[in-house]
Amino acid sequence: MALLKKINQILLLLLVLTVCAILYNKVHQVPLALRNETGDLESPEEVEEEIPVVICAPAGRMGAAVAAISSIYSNTEANVLFYITGLKTTIPHIRKWIENSKLKEIKFKIVEFNPMVLKGKIRQDASRPELLQPLNFVRFYLPLLIQKHEKVIYLDDDVIVQGDIQELYDTKLAPGHAAAFSDDCDLPSTHEMVRSVGMQNTYMGFLDYRKQAIRDLGISPSTCSFNPGVIVANMTEWKHQRITKQLEKWMQRNVEENLYSSTLGGGVATSPMLIVFHGKYSSINPMWHIRHLGWSPDARYSEQFLQEAKLLHWNGRYKPWDYPSVHTDLWENWFIPDPSGKFKLTRPDS
């Protein structure tokens, strides 16, 4: 009997210890990431990642930025934060446009870009002065504009997004890569368009290989170029590799040696990026950057192809808010008229 009593006591003690262990785990093993500042618990579903999207709003083409933002916002359920970048003189206009339209529901920050950072870094070229606008170089300075985000999307203003921006944000960047771009040779269905309008898609079209500094890079002129109008960037790598400083170095060298002229394919903003990121970037799904829609007022893609595209880019001279241009109906689907009436579409009957 004494032995049986002792066994029962041991079993009871084990049972008590087990119950205590279970209670301890429930109280102390909640992941800290699921606690808010008041100590309440949040389910993982309630912790939603913020997607920062940088878009510039230059004077004279703010309607482009508005259409791009409208298309992104309308095609996603993701938590998007728009960083709308402008010059001091244009910021009141874009703010009024947003706050007095259906876009007043978006999450956004207005960021002023100071063009003084470009002093002495841009070679004046009268052939295409629009390419020298300060906001063309915002993409060089992403870490100065974005402080708290690890990953950032940059978009040119002359795009519309037909897919879910979450998909673009989920683009994988290889270790050591500060950015992802779309290769200009990556989509066979665009090759006929490129040939028909005589557009360059290699480094030869952007850099002056007559210059020794360019030849010294050791980059074959037949190397496929990429388009920096759509960028998925890793801010940690960007800062670690001092990408901005590298870009500025090549801007200053161009001022001194005229290494790439705006008479070439991509003007003065693409060429430094081609040099700095050569062989050191990841790839964006080609359907997330269908390009050249603004290169010719005559060349057109098939409607079926454009419907399947995730992002359309009117890079080139012929913009969808001007005339002549192509596939303007797709762009106008997302355009929101200017409440102030300052920005107007240019159409044949206007």
Domain residues of the chain, as ranges?
51-185+200-333
pLDDT at 182 over 60: yes
Asked if 220 contacts 237 with a C-beta cutoff of 8 angstroms, the reply is: no
Q: What does the pLDDT read at residue 185?
A: 81
pLDDT bucket at 236, cuts 50 / 70 / 90 = very high
Is residue 28 over pLDDT 90?
A: no
**Integer Rg of the chain from CA:** 26
pLDDT in tens, 2-13: 554 555 566 555
> Using one digit for the tens of pLDDT, what is the confidence trace for 257-306?
999 865 555 568 899 999 999 999 999 999 999 988 998 898 788 999 99
pLDDT surpassing 70 at residue 126: no
Q: The tokens 């010719």 sit on which residue?
A: 296
Q: Which of 3.30.300.30, 1.10.10.10, 3.40.50.970, 3.90.550.10 would CATH assign to domain 51-185+200-333? A: 3.90.550.10
Residue 45 has pLDDT above 50, yes or no: no
Task: Tell me the C-alpha distance between 338 and 64, whole Å.
Answer: 11
Q: What is the pLDDT of residue 43?
A: 40
Please tell me the predicted confidence (pLDDT) of residue 40.
Answer: 33
Per DSSP, which regions of the chain are E strands? 50-56, 79-86, 107-112, 151-155, 159-161, 179-183, 226-234, 282-283, 311-313
| pLDDT class of 44 with cuts at 50, 70, 90 | very low
pLDDT-derived band at 246, boundaries 50, 70, 90: very high
Residue 202 above 90 pLDDT? no
Q: What pLDDT, on a 0 to 100 scale, did the predictor assign at position 296?
A: 87
pTM, to two decimals: 0.84
Separation CA 133–CA 131 (nearest Å): 6
pLDDT for 70 equals 98
